[in-house]
Amino acid sequence: MEAVTSFLVLSLLPQLIVSEVPTSTSYRAVVEIVSGDSRIFSGERLSLRCIIPDPYQASWGYLWFRGSVQLPQTGEIFQLWNANVKESGKYSCQGKKETDVGSIKTLRSLPYEIHVDGGFAILQLAKRSVLVGDALDLKCRLRGNAPVHQTILYRDGIQVMVQSGSSLNFHLPHVTLEDEGRYSCRVSWDLSRRTHSVMSVPTLVNILEVLAKPVLEIDKDNAQLGRNKMNLICHVQYNAPAPAPPVNYYFYKNNNLLGPATSLNHMHVNKASGWYSCRAKVPKLDIVRWSEPRSFGEVTGPPLMPPRPHHRNQMTSRSPVHTFSAPETQPASPKYFASTPSFNQRTESPSPSEAPDPTSLPTSDRLPGQTQTPEPQGVSWGLF
């Protein structure tokens, strides 16, 4: 009887072991663009790469997705050849490898959005994310080769920059949070004694603060701290490029400092009624941000608002309108514009020009150098 029991246990042991083997890893795949741009014309091509951050450099296979649909491509490099408007979408990838106990997959990558535009003009960003205080560089691409004489940049339908000549590049220095919006461009040229113009679809431009406004969380039900303790957590989004200087955290009760600066974003304190807040500071960048005060327990009266110190890299005003006119004899080359932003300054001119509806498209014979009839622009609207 003991022999039979031992045989049954040994026969079930492999099944028990296999059932506990994980089918996924903690690695998250990453999609990066190899060639091309996230916004391209129909008929063009681009390449994406799937990166598996595996420290052991194991051999992985690759799965590609557009939205929730798995694609037939299985290589590390994904390519769009002669792209079609219908191939616009959010692309992601996932690593997969076979082992003795079955398939193991990585976490799927965050989506990388691709726009295939069937129109005549595209506005492209030099960087996918722009920080407050940085420069915003954009390029208005035109399908075909036309003798451009004017290019206009719009934000949310309002004209913000006009330049004469053949330059299709825009440069906005020292952007602020109010420079965020949907940008589009209009290109005009003369041909056969007629003026033609085309308009790009809007492109969303996100402006990120280097140090976003903190949010204080009061964790009062943490069983590990005991009945009389609670945890103050200062959540903050820090977008400084690597190597980023450190952030110091300060915690307050009724605007009274609870302790020295710390590199940790949390602090254990005794449970006591009052208004709590936190402050995040990056000394090397001269940036300070305060959270909104939060109450705990029974408090009376309005919250005590902390001071709002000046910090040089967190500007909030818009850049002014820029205009450039190239001399008639000047060769066609990109022109860059610079201005010093000032506070309480509006971007709109006294009589702003409204951006026209991008529905009037020229025929193919109006675009010199046109080699392919573009697809209808109406189906190519999309945002980054």
Residue 133 tokens, joined? 């205080």
CB of 95 within 8 A of CB of 26? no
pLDDT at 364: 45
Residue type, 178: E
Strand partners, 79: 47
Strand partners, 229: 270
Structural domains of the chain ordered from first start? 24-116 (2.60.40.10), 119-208 (2.60.40.10), 215-296 (2.60.40.10)
Closest CA to 321 of 301, 347, 303: 347
pLDDT at 11: 52
Strand partners, 98: 103
Q: What is the phi-psi region of residue 35: left when phi exceeds 0, alpha when psi lies from -120 to 50, beta otherwise?
A: beta
For residues 358 and 378, give the distance between their C-alpha atoms in angstroms, rounded to a whole number.
9
Q: In terms of pTM, does the model score above 0.85?
A: no
What is the mean pLDDT of each successive set of 10 residues along the chain, which is 384 residues long? Answer: 49 47 76 92 94 85 94 93 94 89 89 94 88 92 90 94 92 92 94 90 91 93 84 93 92 93 93 94 93 90 64 46 43 36 34 45 47 39 31
CB of 184 within 8 A of CB of 202? yes
Is the previous residue joined to 243 through a cis bond, with omega within 30 degrees of 0?
A: yes
pLDDT at 52: 92
CB of 35 within 8 A of CB of 46? yes
For residues 379 and 185, give the distance between their C-alpha atoms in angstroms, rounded to a whole number.
18
For residue 114, CA distances in Å to 83, 189, 253, 382 come to 11, 29, 48, 9
SS3 content of the chain, % helix, strand, coil (to 5): 10, 40, 50
